[in-house]
Amino acid sequence: MAATELTSGEYIQHHLTNLTFGKIDGVWRMAHSAEEAKEMGFWALHVDSLAWSIGLAAIFLFFFIRAARKATAGVPSGLVNFVEWITEFIDESVRGSFTARNPLIAPLAMTVFAWVFLMNLMDLIPVDLIPYILGDHGLGLFHFMKVVPSTDPNVTFGMAFGVFLLILFYSIKVKGVGGFVGELTGMPFQTSNIALKPIFFVINLVLEGVNLIAKPISLSLRLFGNMYAGEMIFILIALMYSGGIVLGVFGGALQLVWAIFHILVITLQAFIFMTLTIVYLDMAHSEHH
């Protein structure tokens, strides 16, 4: 295990560093250290986050498309029954939180929930397993490898910004440009006094602007923070295996308990991300008079 060759701090840093591809000294290449990854700057790519998130999306599509093709009018079983159960769960969530009519919302909620859940589920894989197989002690392919995309703020912010663009799109589509701007500048403070209107305009714009911008930030940071903390606990527990038999046995028991509890965390975070997406889009469809 890497912990036998590295100090505790180096071991933690190694597991928290993404496989990064970027430009250093005019050359595009993989980073071989955390310092090089940082030096690559804004335009660097986290290859592991991209690969795992796209791969998990492909797995989701494969099984759900397969279930759709196998669906019949008879009694469902196996994969079809599982997919129908998830579909009914998503449908009930959308009906309970979304008051307008939009055929995009239910498929979007399904995609968000399943994708985020699968990314979170990777946190239950032992932290050293895949890095060991693909890394220096195994196939020697990659020096760094983070397998939980939702512990990367680039991924969580990317999904949140996608939702944010939909919020802006439907806000303008449903309310019009004037209605959307009026909503940002006409609430919560209103007055019939012409002299006070410019002052209230600025105050309302600041308050509603902060409220609008807070939506993608809350979506992304909530998911990232919870999953990052969970991953950090798994890494700290893994360090215990290098402390002898007694500490290793205790670490194994602790890891099992945390993994069982973490099943609730990864499911809850996927559900919260989905629910907030639905609620925010419902707000975008609602007209205020």
Catalytic residue set: 218, 222, 226
DSSP letter at 80 equals H
Per-residue buried b or exposed e for 8-31, using 16+ beta carbons within 10 Å of the residue's own CB: eeebbebbebbbbbbebeeeeebb
What's CA 99's distance to the chain center, in Å?
Answer: 25
Neighbouring C-beta atoms of residue 186, cutoff 10 Å: 17
